[in-house]
A and B are shown apart, each in its own frame.
Chain A
Amino acid sequence: MYDTIIIGGGPAGLAAAVKAKKLGLKVLLLDENEFLGGILPQCIHPGFGLHYFKEELTGPEFAHRFIREINELNIEHYTNAYVLEIENYSDLEKKVVFSSPEGVKEVWGKTIIYAAGARERHAFEIGIVGDRVAGIYTAGEAQTLMDIYGVMPGKEVVIVGSGDVGLIMARRFALEGAKVKAVIELMPYPGGLARNVMILRDFEIPLYLSHKVVEVRGRKRVEKVKVVKVDENLKEISGSGFWIECDTLLISAGLIPNVKLLKKIGAQIDPLNGGPIVNELLETTIPGIFVAGNALLINDLVDYVAEQGELAALGAKEFIENQGIPSRKWIKLKRGSNVRILAPHYISGERDVYIYARVSRPMENVRVTFPEIRKELRLPVVKPSEMLRIKLKAEEIQKAGKEITMEVEKGEV
C-alpha cells in the first residue's frame, strides 16, 4: 500500500511527488506519456520558474529540475501508464487501475494526488461550423507537432483566442517563417499575460478584439475562415462578417480541467472553476483524494501549479498522520463581485492560506476586500488573464464567522 499515488507527471504531479517523498511518504507516480513533464517539454519558450526557482527557465528546463530530483530520490514511477479507474474503496484505502505495456495493474494507496492537468477546448465546442478539413489544430496540438516532433503545420495562420498559448504559438509560427494573419479574441481585452500580448506588437500581428471565428471553408485543407464582430453582450453584429484566407486555424479557446475520473467517483465539481471543490489542503469532497495544478483550476503560471502540488503533498501527509483530515468547522470562501474563479472553497483558520482567484473583467485602481475579516488590498490593475494569489493569514481568517467573501471593486479615486 502506497501512502500516496500521484496521477499525472506534469509540474503539479512532479512537485507533489518530490515533496511527498521528502516528507517521508511512500510514493508512486503514474504518467500516461512516454516521458515525464506533462506539457512542459513542448514549452520551449522562457518564462517558467521566476517565482519558484527565482530564475527564468524554459519549460523543459523547469521539468528537468524536478525530474532530476525524482531520479535522485528514487521515486517509483511509471510512464506510459494510463489510469483507467479510481475506486474509493474506503476513506483510508483507494484503488487505482492503470494500463501499461506491462499489463493492466491495480495499486492501492492511502491517498491520491490527482494532477491530471487540463484539455483544450476544440472547434466544435466554440460553435465553429463549416467544412471539416485538415489544418485545424488546437494550439497545444500544434505546439506538440512543432516542438516535440519537428513538423511545420502550415504557413498562413489564423489564431482563435489571445490566451497565453495562442500568443506564444503566434510567435512560434512567426519565428519559423509562417505568416500569422490574425489573432481573433472574443472579449474586448486580450486574454494573455501582458508580456505575451507584447508578442503581437513585436511581430506585427493584427489582434481583433470583440471578434469571433464562426466558419471554416476548404476542400481538403482550410482555405479561409469567416470572422464576425460581436457587441458588448458578445452577440454577433449582423453584416460585420469578413473572410480571411489561410491554410491553418489554431484554436486556443481556453482549457478545461481534466476531471472525468473524479466526476465518475462522485467528487463535487465547481462549475465555474471546472475543477473540484477543495479545502485548504486541496482535498476534494472525497476523503483522501487531493488535487493540484490545472486539474484544480486553470493556472497562469507553472510556479503556482508546483506550489499546489506541494500543498497537496502536505495534505496527504496530514491525512495519513491523522487517519483522515481532522474534523473542524470550515469557513466557506465565497465569490463576491467580479470574482469568477476562486479556490480553495473551505478554509480553517489554523494556517496561512494562499487563495487563487481570477476576475471576470479587467479593472483598474482596484480594492480587493474580504469584508467579514476587514481585510483590504489595493491593486493598480486586475485582468482575467492574471491569477490573483493572495495570502490570508491564520489570525485574519480566525476573525471570520461562517464565511469570507472576496470582492473586487473599483477603488475610490
Chain B
Amino acid sequence: MKTRVAIIGAGISGASIARVLSKYENLEVHLIEKNADVGWGVSKANTALIHGGYDDDPEKYPMRAKLCIKGNRLWHEWVKELEIPHIWNGALIVALRDEDFKELEGLLERGRKNGVPEMIIVDKEELFHLEPNLNPEALGGLWVPIVGQIGPIPAVIAIVENAVANGVKLHLETEVRGIKVEGGEVKGVETNNGFIEADIIINAAGLYADEISRMVGVNDFEIHPRKGEYWIFDEDIPGPRRVLFPTPTPKSKGVVVTTEISGHLMIGPNAQDLPKEEKENLATTREGLEEVWKKAKELWPNLPPRSKVIRTFAGLRPEPTGGDFIIRAEKEVWGFINVAGIRSPGLTSAPAIAYEVVEIIRRDLGINLVEKGKWNPYRKKITHFFMLQPEKANELVKENPSYGKIVCRCNHVSEGDILEAIERMKFIGVKTPSIDSIKVRTKATSGTCQGSFCRVRIARILAREYGVDLWNVTLKGKGSEIGIGDVKVLLRGEVE
C-alpha cells in the first residue's frame, strides 16, 4: 500500500517537496494548485536571490537560519541537475556610514554561527575592485561570495517537470475548499475538481497557508502579506556585477540593486505591510516605487531616466506570526504538515524545506520511506534560440523550420522555442493556454517592447496548438482572455 500525499500549492516550496518526495517508492504524490500554471503565487514576483544565510538570527528564527544556508548549498546541486538558469555572482552588503560597520560585524558573526563560508569585511579599495560603479561615498562592505541568482519561476517549472517525470501527479486549476479529517487523521482534500484522497496533507499554500491550516482546526498563526515593489530597466542600462544590499535594518534586508539573470538592471523591494485580507493586492503604487527609487539611488547613483523602465511589478511575501518559518507536523491532526510563512529567504530555503519535510514524515509520522530503484534527478532545459551557436541553430532549423522563425523580436524567441514550451506545458498538465506560461518559459514578451509585437503572434500559436479560438487565449488564466469574441460580436449583440 502506498501512502498518498497531497501537497497544497505548486510554488517553490510545494514543488520542491513534491520533487524530493518523488524519490520514494511507497509514496503517491499529488501536487494541487489553484492557478492555471505552477509558480504563479508568491514565487512569481521576488528578488530571485539565493541568499547567503548570514542575516537570520538563529536564536530568534532558528528555522530560517538553519534552512537558508542548507538551501543555498542544495541549490548549487539543483541548478545543475535541473538546468535552471543561474549565476553565482556574490553579494556585497554596503556600508555608507561608519556606524554601518558595526552592523556588518554583527552579520559576519551571525554568518559564522550559521555556517556561512568565505565571508569577509572589505575596505573601500577592495569594495570598488569588486564593484567599480557603486556610490563613490561607500566606505566598505561585507562580501558574501556564495550568494547567487536564479530564475524563480523557471526553477519552479524545472522542479515540477522533474517531479512529474518521476511520477508526481499535478492538479492545476484545482482549488482546495475543505479538508476531511476523521478520528484525528486527515483523509483527503475537497476541491472544485472533486475529492482527492490523502493520508498526508502538506500545506504549502503560501499566502493562504493560514486559511488552509484553519480547515483542520489549527489556527495559532496568521499570514500577513508584505508587499515589495520593483523596477526593471531596459537591457542596455549598465548594472552592477554583484548583488548589492544596503546595510540592513531590523525590518528588512533593504532595497537591492542587481543585474538580474536576463541582464536587466533591477531595483527593489521596499516593504509595506498590508492587512491580511489583501492577499491579492499586487498593484504597484507611486509611493512604493518612489521609495524604491530613492533607496536604490543611495547605492547606485546612476539610475537611468524613468523612460528606460520596461516594467514595474509588485510581489507579496507571506509574513507569519512570530516571523519564523512554520514547518511542523500538527499533533492534533495526524498527517497534516504545515509549511507556512515561507517569507524571505523562502526561495533559498526551498530545497532544504523539502528535506525537512521528509524528516518530519519519517520522524513524526513514523513512515518508513523506501527509495526508488531508479529515480531520475535530471531535467533538460528548454531550447532558447537566442542562446544557440549559429551551427547548432541551423542544425535545429533543418529538423524543424519553426526554430528559424523569430516571434519575439526583443529577446529573439523563436516559434520553435514556443512550441517546445507548449509541449512542456502539456506534459505537466496545463489546460488553459496563457501568454504568461509562454513568457516564463521562453522570455518572450519580457523585453523592451513588453510584447506589443509578439503577444498576438504567441496567442495565435497557442490557439492553434490548444485548438481554441484566438480570443479565448488568456494572459494569465481564466478571466484574462485577450478578447471578448470575434470582431463582430458586439454588433451582433451577443455580449451585453
A residues touching B (Cβ–Cβ < 8 Å)? 32, 80, 82, 84, 97, 99-104, 119-120, 122-125, 127, 129-134, 137-138, 140-141, 144-146, 148-155, 176-178, 214-215, 217, 219-221, 260, 263
Contact = CB atoms under 8 A, between A and B. Distances in A.
B414 A99 contact: yes
Contacts, number: 146
Contact of B390 (A100, A104, A137, A151): A104
Given A120-B449, A141-B452, A154-B484, A129 B286 contact: yes
A29 to B, nearest CB: 17
A83 B282 CA distance: 37
A151 B470 contact: yes
B280 interface: yes
A151 B482 contact: yes
Contacts of B450: 122-124
Contacts of A104: 390, 393-394, 397, 404
A145 B482 contact: yes
Contacts of B405: 80, 82, 99-101
Contact of A102 (B390, B401, B414, B485): B401
Contact of A140 (B398, B414, B452, B471): B452
A326 to B, nearest CB: 34
A104 B414 CA distance: 12
A62 B282 CA distance: 45
Given A122-B452, A125-B309, A152-B484, A103 B398 contact: yes
A144 B456 contact: yes
B106 to A, nearest CB: 36
Interface of B: 236, 280, 282-286, 289, 306-307, 309-313, 385, 390, 393-394, 397-398, 401-402, 404-406, 409, 412, 414, 448-450, 452-453, 455-456, 460, 470-471, 474-491, 495
A219 B456 contact: no
Given A119-B452, A124-B450, A129-B283, A134 B393 contact: no
B455 A141 contact: yes
Given A101-B404, A103-B404, A131 B487 contact: no
Given A124-B450, A151-B470, A133 B394 contact: no
B454 to A, nearest CB: 10
Contacts of A102: 397, 401, 404
25 contacts: A80-B405, A99-B406, A99-B414, A101-B397, A103-B404, A104-B397, A120-B452, A122-B449, A122-B450, A129-B283, A129-B312, A130-B283, A132-B282, A134-B476, A134-B480, A138-B452, A146-B487, A151-B483, A152-B487, A152-B490, A153-B483, A176-B491, A215-B283, A217-B283, A221-B480
A323 to B, nearest CB: 30
Contacts of A153: 482-484
Given A103-B393, A124-B310, A150 B487 contact: yes
A32 B471 CA distance: 24
Contacts of B398: 103
B483 A32 contact: no
B449 A152 contact: no
Given A32-B409, A104-B393, A134 B475 contact: yes
Given A99-B385, A103-B404, A145-B456, 4 more contacts: A32-B409, A124-B309, A129-B312, A152-B489
Contacts of B475: 133-134
Contacts of A122: 310, 449-450, 452
Closest 7 A-B residue pairs measured CB to CB?
A177-B490, A220-B479, A82-B406, A101-B401, A134-B480, A151-B483, A138-B452
Contacts of A176: 487-488, 490-491
Most buried by B among A138, A140, A148: A138
Contacts of B460: 149
B462 to A, nearest CB: 13
Most buried by B among A132, A215, A221: A132
Contact of B480 (A100, A133, A140, A215): A133
A125 B310 contact: yes
Nearest to B480: A134
A110 B394 CA distance: 25
A134 B481 contact: yes
B486 A152 contact: yes
Most buried by A among B236, B280, B471: B471
A104 B385 CA distance: 11
Contacts of A134: 474-476, 479-482
A165 to B, nearest CB: 12
A49 to B, nearest CB: 25
B199 to A, nearest CB: 35
A99 B403 CA distance: 9
A151 B479 contact: no
Contacts of B393: 99, 103-104
Most buried by A among B280, B307, B402: B307
A80 B460 CA distance: 15
Contacts of B284: 129-130
Contacts of B489: 152
Nearest to B488: A176
A103 B397 contact: yes
Contacts of A148: 456
A195 B397 CA distance: 48
B274 to A, nearest CB: 14
B473 to A, nearest CB: 9
A120 to B, nearest CB: 5
Contacts of B385: 99
Contacts of B453: 119, 141
Contacts of A99: 385, 393, 397, 404-406, 412, 414
Contacts of A141: 452-453, 455-456
Contacts of B480: 133-134, 220-221
A80 to B, nearest CB: 5
B278 to A, nearest CB: 12
Contact of A32 (B306, B309, B406): B406
A295 to B, nearest CB: 13
B486 A150 contact: yes
Contacts of B449: 119-120, 122
B289 A129 contact: yes
Nearest to B284: A129
B306 A127 contact: yes
Given A101-B397, A155-B490, A214 B479 contact: no
Contacts of B414: 99
